[in-house]
Amino acid sequence: MNNTVPTYNVLGVNVSALNLDLATAAVRDLVQARGRDYICVAPVSTIVDARRDPAYRQVINQAALVTPDGIPVVWLGRQKGFQEMSRTYGPDLMMRLCATEDSRGLRHFFYGGTTEVCDKLVQRLRGKFPEIIVAGTFAPAYTPKAEVLAARVRDQINAARADILWVALGSPKQDFWMAMNQPLLDVPVMIGVGAAFDFLAGVKPQAPRWMQRSGLEWLFRLCSEPRRLWKRYLIGNTLFVWWLLLDALHLRSFGTRHSTLDTRDKP
C-alpha cells in the first residue's frame, strides 16, 4: 500500500482516500518511481468478495492503491473524515490518464477483452486523444482463474516498454492475475479496470451519470445483465449492508471503525 495516501478500513479492506485528481497524481508518481506496483478498484462487490476470501483480501491489501470505485465506499470514507473523496471509477481513471496534459508521453498497454474489443477501444481512444501512445494490446484466451503468463506473452509485454498496463479480466480474477504476474513484468504500474474496455469501446452500455452519482449503477448493470450479475448485486449488496450493520452495532468486528492511518490530517 502506498504510504503517502491515507486509507480507511471497510470490512477488512484498506481503501485509499482518493478522488480522480489525487488518483491521477498518485499513478503518475508510481510511474516515475519505476517500481512494480498494481492498483485495484474497489466497488462494493470487491469488498464483499474480499470479506469472504482471506486470500483475496490479502491481494487487495497488498496493492499500491485501492480506489473507491463505488459510491457506498465513498460515503463510508467521508464518514471517517475524508471529505475530499469522490468516486474513482475505473473507466474514468483510464480516460483521465489517457487524456491529461501531465500524462503525455505515457505508454499504455491493454490486456484483456477480445481482439475486437481491444481494436475498438484503441480506435476510440486514438479518436479522442490523437497523441496517446499505445504500446500494445493482447486479448487472452478465456480461463476461469488467473494464470501465470506464458513466456511469449510476458516477453511481448516487457518488450513494449509500457508505463501502464491496463488489465480488464473482471474481479477478482484480474486482481489475482496482477499479484501473480507482478514479479514477471517490467511495468511500473498495472491497473485492474474490470469492464472498462467494454464500456469505453462501446460494446456495453454505461449507466447514466445521475445513476452513477447516486449509487444506483448496480441497478442499471443488473437490468442489463441479470443472469450474470444477480448474485453479485442482490446477494452481495445485502451482505455488505448486513455486515456494516453488525459492525456498527458492535455485534461483530471487521476493523471498519479503524483507519490504517490514524495520523491523517483532519479536514
Residue 57 contacts residue 51 (beta carbons within 8 Å): yes
pTM given for the model: 0.90
Q: How sure is the predictor about 262, in pLDDT bands with cuts at 50, 70 and 90? A: very low
Per domain, the residue ranges of the chain are 16-194+230-248
pLDDT, one tens digit per residue, over 3-61 is 689 999 999 999 999 999 999 999 999 999 999 999 999 999 999 999 999 999 999 99
**What average pLDDT does the segment 60-72 reach?**
96
Residues 9, 10, 16, 22, CA torsion sign? negative
- DSSP type of residue 195: T
Query: What is residue 65's three-state secondary structure?
Result: strand
